[in-house]
Amino acid sequence: MGRVSDSGRNGLFGASFSRSAVGVSDTDWLQAMLDTEAALARAVERAGLVAPGSGAAVTAAASADRFDIDELGRAAVLAGNPVPPLVRALSALLPAGRREAVHPGASSQDIIDTAVMLLARRAIGVIESDLATAARHAARLARENTATVLAGRTLLQQAVPVTFGLVAAGWLTGIDESRRDLHRTKTRLAVQFGGAAGTLAALGSAGPEVAALLADELGLAEPVLPWHTDRLRIVQLAAAVAGVSAALSKIARDVTLLAQTEVAEVSEGADDPRQGGSSAMPHKRNPVVAILVLGCTRRVPGLLATLTAAAEQEHQRAAGAWHAEWETLSELLRLTGSAASWSAALLAGLRVDADRMRANLDASGGLPMAEHVAAELAPALGRLAAHDLVAAAAARATAAGSTLQAELLADAEAAAALRAAGITERELAAAVDPTAYLGASAAFTQRALAAHDELRNEEGDDPGER
C-alpha cells in the first residue's frame, strides 16, 4: 500500500490543493515547536538562568528528524496537545546538565502559539512571493490592454463598455492591497510566553526579561502581555490571509466567466495539450487553473469563521477553542498558499482575445451605449424623458433583433427628439461607438499601475523588471 508523504503534495489531491511551498505539514509544525524550545533555551541562558552552553546543546538536539512524529501524536492525547511528550523526548536527547534549559517557565500554549507565529511568518513569505508574481502579470495585462474594449457586465448582463486593461487593473489592485495587509500582519506576529496562567511566576522577576529575549531570538514582536485567551492576533492573521483568498477568488471567477464557450474572451495558456481536458468529451478545454484557485478559495470563509468563533475563550486557558485553531490555521495557510501559486500561473499564461471582446460588444446592437445616448438627449428632453425614450428604443431593438441606432432613427418620436437635441445621424453613430464612452478607464488603469510601481519600489524590486 502506498504511503502519503508528510509534505501533503502527494496522493490524489495534493498536487491540486497543496501546490505551493507553504509548509504546514506535521514536520513543519514539529520543527516550529522545536525552534521555539531552542530559542527559549538560548533566552534563559542569556538571562543567566542556566549554565553556559545549554542553549547551544538544546538547539543542536532540536531537529525534527530526531523525533517520531507518530509516537508524539499518540502521546499527545494524554495531555491534549503534543508539547508534554515533545519536552520529554527533547530532554532525553540531552545530558543531565543541559536538561534544565528545556521548557523553563513555559506552558504548552506558549510553545504551540509561538510555533504558529513562526509557521505563519514562513507561509506569508511564500504567499507574498507568489502574489508578487501574480501582480506582475496582472500589471502586464493592464498595460497591454489599456485600449482593449469589451462589454462591462453587471448582474451578468452587458452594461457599458470598459477596457480589459481596467479589468486587469482591478485584479492588480486587489492583489496589491491584500499584499499590503498581509505584510502588515507579518510585522505584528508576536511571541507567546506567559507560563501557566499568563504571569510567568515560575521565572520570578526574570520572566519579562526572558520573554523579551525569546522574542529577540525568534525575530518576533514582543506583545504588551501574554495573549493566551486574547485571540485577536489569530483573527487578524486569519482575516489577512482570507483577504488574499478573496482577491484571488475574484480573478479566478472572472476568468471562468470570460472563458465560457459563448463568451470566449480569454483562455488559459497550456504547455500540456491535455490541460483542461475531459474524461468524456474530447473537445473540452476547461479553465482548470482558475477552477483550482476557486477550489481552494471556496473553503477559506468557513475556516475564517471557525477561527473567529474560536476567539471566544475562557479565563486564562481555553477548553477546546484553542485546540480548534491548530488544523484550521494549517488548512487556511495551505489553501491560500496554493491559490496564490495557481493564480501566478493563471495570470502568467492568460490569453486575451481582443477581437472576440469587440465582436461580443458589437453583437449587442449598440445597447450598451444607451446610457450615452440618453445623456446626449437629456439637455433637450430632460433626464427622465430621455431615459424613457431610449429605454423604449432599446426594448424594440431587443425584440426585433435590430440595433439601438436603427430603432431611434425609425421611430417618429425618437427622431424628433434627436432633431430637437441637434443630434445628426453621424453624431448618433458616434454616440453608439463604444470607444467614445470609456470614461476614466485609462486614467484609473494608470493609477493602479502607478500604485503597483510604488509598492514594488517599497519592496525593492528591480525597476527593470516592470
* Catalytic positions, written as ranges: 278, 317
Instruction: Give the three-class secondary structure for 267.
Output: strand
Whole-angstrom distance, CA of residue 23 vs CA of residue 9:
11
Query: How many Cβ atoms sit within 10 Å of the Cβ of residue 279?
Result: 6
Taking every pair of Cα atoms in the chain, the longest distance, rounded to a whole number of angstroms, is 102
Q: List CB contacts of 269: < 8 A, sequence separation 6 or more.
A: 348, 349, 350, 351
Q: List CB contacts of 137: < 8 A, sequence separation 6 or more.
A: 344, 347, 348, 350
Tell how strand 350-352 and strand 266-268 pair up: antiparallel
In angstroms, the Cα distances linking 343 to 177, 313, 339 are 16, 36, 6
Q: Which helix (DSSP H) or strand (DSSP E) does residue 266 occupy? A: strand 266-268
- β partners of residue 152: none
Which residue, 232, 230, 235, is CA-closest to 306? 235
Whole-angstrom distance, CA of residue 40 vs CA of residue 8:
29
First to last CA, the chain: 49
Whole-angstrom distance, CA of residue 241 vs CA of residue 4:
27
Dihedral pair phi/psi, residue 352, rounded to 5°: -110, 125
DSSP string, 82-145: SHHHHHHHHHHTS-GGGGGGSSTT--HHHHHHHHHHHHHHHHHHHHHHHHHHHHHHHHHHHHHT
Whole-angstrom distance, CA of residue 393 vs CA of residue 411:
8
Q: What 8-state DSSP symbol labels residue 66?
A: G
Whole-angstrom distance, CA of residue 466 vs CA of residue 35:
38
Residue 121 is placed in which grid cell? 511568518
DSSP string, 14-63: HHHHS-S----SHHHHHHHHHHHHHHHHHHHHHTTSS-TTHHHHHHHH--
Residue 78 is placed in which grid cell? 494524554
